[in-house]
Chains A and B, each alone.
Chain A
Amino acid sequence: MCLAIPARIVELEGDRAVVDAMGNCWKARTTLLPQAKLGDLVLIHAGFALSLVDEEEAKKTWQLIAEISEFDDTPNKVSG
């Protein structure tokens, strides 16, 4: 459950953001990454951005997540 998901910040007001990963959008907070800006790619875990990440690394992780979700049939699994 320690996997963090790369996502792009598409809206940001204070420390409240909307992030987008592979076309899925959800709310997240930037409280733990105060330097995050609109348009940044960040790693999200349990609703919080933890670090900046580059495009190439993000793509690798998205690919892995797609593979793991195939494997994981646990309902309502937390994304992270």
Chain B
Amino acid sequence: MTAACQSLGRRINIMEVCGTHTVSIFRNGIRSILPRNLKLLSGPGCPVCVTDQGYVDTVLKLADRSDCIIATYGDMIRVPGKDHSLETRQAKANVKVVLSSEDALQLAKDNPAHTVVFVAVGFETTAPATAVVVREAAAESVDNFCILSGHKLVVPAMRALLSGKNENINAFLCPGHVSVIIGYGAFAEIVEDFDRPCVVAGFEAVQIVEGLGEICRQLSTGKAELISVYSAVVSEKGNSAAQRIVDECFESVDGYWRGLGEIEKSTLRLNDKYSQFDAFKRFDISETPSEEEKDCRCGEVLCGLIDPPECGLFGQSCSPQEPVGPCMVSSEGACAAWFKYGREKIPKR
């Protein structure tokens, strides 16, 4: 890797697009052993972080309704809305943390007098689990169940980054478990259309370094390729059963991402066949982007334009205990990882 970087003789920016990679990179001190001209950028790889403020505010509005129960993964519970978070609403007892989409459906069966709204966030890894229960809700006529789909697709976000948000990204370290579903072949379009190396890697330190080494090799030879160094788990075509059920229930629509704005065909919405389970339609909600917290620079962090310490709030009014933006809320967020592991590198103000 060192030899490849030296031969390049210019700065190289590699973006990881997976929150678990971000945490593992920090946890294992990988940044400290990299060649000086190699910079790692933490991209939009954490579903909580990329969820638009408008979506969060919509969830909070639904939590205010006495006829609704909100079922959410624990990751979303502390994300701040305009005035409060779901955590503060938990006291009202109509916000429930679930470990699976199936628990959310069960909650609906157990509470027939309420409408259970499942906060369906996550990338391609998580969407199939939502699709399974939507199909089951339809088969069993669980009419008081619906989902607010904020499921996002990784490849359109990578395209958006390279199409104007941050063209200085030289290569991607692609997410391991998203690739379990979509297959590493899904990243071929990034290599072909943008001439950027894409390497799928596992999460262990050695696997990440192997992935970065492969990227550097490609950059030094000037030939971008698609490679998986995570072959124990990831295949070229992915999980076809999961892809089929997602295709059966969802269609991809334009959607808002924090920091990246609206991205074409980047969000999954229930299709006509399952629209009766679509919370946007049931409650007549139109998804509009909300204003993000003033001074919070999570958007620039997510695009790899700044490191978290360059945000004026970082470590001052924004910390994992009292987060202002989602990148500090989620343990997989770049700000939280920097706060925990990267503080010695924070420039003095």
Say yes or no: is A64 at the interface (Cβ < 8 Å to chain B).
yes
Say yes or no: is B228 at the interface (Cβ < 8 Å to chain A).
no
Cβ distance B322 to chain A, nearest Cβ, rounded Å: 13
Q: Which residues of A contact B (CB under 8 A)?
A: 1-4, 26, 28-29, 31-34, 43, 45-48, 50-51, 53-54, 56-57, 60-61, 63-64, 67-68, 71-80
B340 partner residues in chain A, CB cutoff 8 A: 71
What 4 additional pairs, Cβ within 8 angstroms, besides A60-B202, A68-B27?
A45-B125, A45-B177, A50-B242, A74-B78
Contact B102 A47 (CB under 8 A): yes
Number of CB contacts from chain A to chain B under 8 A: 135
Contact B100 A48 (CB under 8 A): yes
Answer whether A76 and B74 are a contact pair too, CB < 8 Å, given A2-B20, A47-B101: yes
Binds A, one of B32-40, B126-134, B185-193, B279-287: B126-134
B98 partner residues in chain A, CB cutoff 8 A: 78
- From A77, which residue of chain B is reached at the shortest CB distance? B74
The docked-state distance in angstroms from the alpha carbon of A45 to that of B27 is 22
- Tell me the chain B residues, 149-167 only, with Cβ under 8 Å from chain A: none
The docked-state distance in angstroms from the alpha carbon of A48 to that of B178 is 14
Query: What are 13 residue pairs bridging A and B, where the CB atoms are less than 8 Å apart in the complex?
Result: A28-B100, A29-B132, A31-B241, A32-B132, A45-B125, A45-B126, A47-B99, A47-B129, A50-B125, A63-B204, A68-B27, A73-B331, A77-B331
Q: Which of A26, A57, A71 contacts B331 (CB 8 A)?
A: A71
Q: Which residues of B contact A (CB under 8 A)?
A: 18-20, 23-24, 27, 45-48, 73-75, 77-78, 97-103, 121-123, 125-126, 128-129, 132, 175, 177-178, 180-181, 202-204, 207, 232-233, 239, 241-242, 245, 320, 330-332, 340
Cβ distance A20 to chain B, nearest Cβ, rounded Å: 16
Q: Which of A33, A34, A57, A77 contacts B233 (CB 8 A)?
A: A57
Answer whether A2 and B175 are a contact pair too, CB < 8 Å, given A45-B126, A46-B126, A60-B202: yes
Q: Which of B19, B45, B239, B332 contacts A32 (CB 8 A)?
A: B239
Contact B180 A43 (CB under 8 A): yes
Residue of A1, A26, A47, A76 contacting most chain B CB atoms (<10 Å): A1
Contact A50 B181 (CB under 8 A): yes
Q: Which of B75, B128, B204, B330 contacts A48 (CB 8 A)?
A: B128
B181 partner residues in chain A, CB cutoff 8 A: 50
